[in-house]
């Protein structure tokens, strides 16, 4: 089977041992401290497809395994891994970016948990990354919808896929700090509106803006768009921003060098291709003129998009 020669398959088999060994150590320590716990090998519980490094969980099969394993008949504490699962072929798979948080959300959904707490190295979800912005403040509460918006546009604390299993069962998510465990953190729940008077800034660095122009100046019609996005999807290239006109389409993507070079060569077969790299994608939720001015002043702006609540800028 050609799968056996796959780099992604081999990668998953190796990196999964970090989760296994670390949870074995923590479980042994808790038992030593007389905190009895049941160590669970989640590779035998989370049933996935064989998309290595970004596997999809089979909720029906996994749900049956979860209910058999996490019975709480004799145990109060279960200790298991995040980020990993097992394919139907018997290989270890990993669940992609922020897979550990997602694992917790899946278990919470299937076990009808009352809440989920994720522990980070920050006090909660901030309105701006203090690494890049001079002023930042903690967001006390967010709706699921607002959190998905932030995560989709690049906020690093919570991944969008983590929120869906929780929202489906109305399970609140708390983001708290292991450095400051007494802090209240941020609560994500079914709140109706965003009521903090703080604009939210999200910065994605190392972006590439690619513009495609038909060589015969024809319109970029639906058939052409479907070809473009089919190729992007097949190569698992996430588009962060799109802008189109009658005879062109531009999109902003993460600059993954191994993929973007192939992408430009492929599109060059049918289109005139222009591109700019080393750019940044700045998103401002609940923006104001002053908020925009404070972060775009003296920057070159390639794209400026604004809707009712969100402004996007591709900048250098």
Domain at 282, CATH number: 3.30.2130.10
How far is the C-alpha of 88 from the C-alpha of 267, rounded, in Å? Answer: 36
Residue at token pair 């604004």: 306
Please name every residue paired with 306 in a beta bridge, in sequence order, or none if there are none. 311
Contact 140, 185 (CB under 8 A): no
182: which DSSP letter? Answer: T
Would 50 be classed as within a structural domain? yes
Q: What is the pLDDT of residues 182-238, one digit of tens each?
A: 999 999 999 887 777 789 999 999 999 999 998 887 766 777 788 899 999 988 888
Question: So what's the pLDDT on residue 315?
Answer: 98
Residues 133 and 167 in one domain: yes
Contact 45, 65 (CB under 8 A): yes
SS3 63: helix
- Look up residue 47 and give its two tokens: 């049933």
Question: So what's the pLDDT on residue 210?
Answer: 96
Instruction: Count CB-CB contacts under 10 A for residue 212.
Output: 22
Would 67 be classed as within a structural domain? yes
Q: Which domain-ending residue is among 189, 222, 243?
A: 189
Would 2 be classed as within a structural domain? no
Question: So what's the pLDDT on residue 1?
Answer: 52
Residues 116 and 205 in one domain: no
Which residues form the domain of 295? 200-315
Residues 23 and 64 in one domain: yes
Domain at 85, CATH number: 3.40.1160.10
How far is the C-alpha of 161 from the C-alpha of 259, rounded, in Å? Answer: 23
Would 268 be classed as within a structural domain? yes
Contacts of 8 (CB under 8 A, 6+ apart): 52, 53
Would 194 be classed as within a structural domain? no
Residues 292 and 181 in one domain: no
Residues 205 and 149 in one domain: no
Residues 144 and 238 in one domain: no
Residues (pLDDT < 70) of the chain are: 1-3, 219-220
Residues 18 and 162 in one domain: yes
Q: Which domain-ending residue is among 136, 168, 189?
A: 189
Q: What is the pLDDT of residues 145-159, one digit of tens each?
A: 999 888 888 887 788
Residues 132 and 216 in one domain: no
Question: So what's the pLDDT on residue 2?
Answer: 57
Contacts of 131 (CB under 8 A, 6+ apart): none
Q: Which domain-ending residue is among 189, 220, 254?
A: 189
Question: So what's the pLDDT on residue 64?
Answer: 98
Residues 19 and 59 in one domain: yes
Would 95 be classed as within a structural domain? yes
Would 3 be classed as within a structural domain? no
Residues 214 and 149 in one domain: no
Q: What is the pLDDT of residues 240-253, one digit of tens each?
A: 999 988 889 999 99
What phi and psi, each to the nearest 5 degrees, are found at residue 208?
-125, 135
Would 137 be classed as within a structural domain? yes
Total domains, the chain: 2
Residues 161 and 257 in one domain: no
């Amino acid at each position: 089977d050609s799968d056996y020669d796959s780099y992604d398959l081999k990668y998953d088999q190796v990196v999964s041992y970090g989760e296994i060994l670390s949870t074995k150590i923590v479980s042994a320590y808790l038992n030593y401290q007389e905190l009895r716990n049941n160590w669970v090998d989640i590779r035998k519980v989370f049933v996935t497809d064989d998309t290595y490094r970004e596997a999809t969980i089979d909720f029906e099969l996994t749900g049956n395994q979860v209910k058999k394993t996490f019975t709480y008949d004799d145990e109060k504490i279960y200790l298991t891994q995040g980020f990993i699962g097992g394919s139907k072929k018997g290989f270890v798979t990993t669940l992609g970016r922020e897979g550990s948080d997602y694992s917790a959300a899946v278990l919470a959904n299937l076990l009808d948990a009352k809440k989920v707490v994720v522990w980070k190295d920050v006090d909660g979800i901030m309105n701006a990354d203090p690494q890049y912005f001079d002023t930042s403040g903690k967001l006390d509460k967010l709706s699921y919808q607002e959190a998905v918006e932030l995560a989709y546009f690049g906020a690093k604390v919570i991944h969008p896929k983590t929120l869906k299993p929780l929202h489906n069962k109305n399970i609140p998510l708390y983001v708290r700090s292991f450095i400051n465990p007494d802090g209240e953190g941020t609560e994500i729940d079914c709140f109706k509106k965003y009521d903090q008077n703080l604009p939210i800034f999200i910065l994605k660095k190392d972006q590439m803006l690619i513009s495609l122009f038909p060589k015969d100046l024809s319109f970029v019609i639906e058939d052409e768009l479907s070809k473009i996005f089919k190729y992007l999807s097949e190569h698992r290239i996430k588009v962060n921003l799109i802008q189109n006109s009658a005879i062109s389409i531009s999109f902003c993507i993460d600059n993954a060098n191994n993929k973007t070079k192939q992408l430009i060569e492929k599109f060059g077969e049918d289109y005139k291709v222009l591109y700019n790299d080393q750019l940044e994608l700045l998103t401002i939720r609940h923006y104001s003129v002053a908020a925009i001015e404070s972060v775009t002043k003296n920057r070159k702006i390639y794209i400026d998009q604004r809707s009712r609540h969100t402004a996007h800028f591709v900048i250098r």
